[in-house]
Amino acid sequence: MTKTVETQIEKSQNLIKGLRKHLSEGGGGTTLQELSAMEQTVTELMAASDECDRLRAELAPKVQYLNKVLDKVRDEYVVRKLIVRNNYPKERWADYGLQDKR
């Protein structure tokens, strides 16, 4: 759970608790149904945050793998590109898919 979400949940729960405690005094114009609806929304926020945390945990290793493969492809590309550059005149580089020129 991110700090922002955690802070908002805590603040909302404290407000709900305070409003419930003083509901008999008018509750600041808030009804019991409105407080129940707000509690439900806070519960939904907690569930959504937990789901995001779970997905982040699943995604992190996959992103690391992606970055490793990307680095490998880039390294191989540089090697092959140098072979073409060192063995052929720049007029022929486009024949090998190289569009850049020195």
CA–CA separation, 88 and 78 (whole Å) = 15
CA–CA separation, 58 and 50 (whole Å) = 13
Residue 8 pLDDT more than 90? yes
- Return the pLDDT at 62: 97
User: Structure tokens of 84?
Assistant: 């073409």
- Is residue 90 within 8 Å of residue 102, measured between CB atoms? yes
- Return the pLDDT at 9: 97
Name the packing angle between helices 3-21 and 32-87 (round to 10°): 180
> For the whole prediction, is pTM greater than 0.85?
no
- Is residue 101 within 8 Å of residue 93, measured between CB atoms? yes
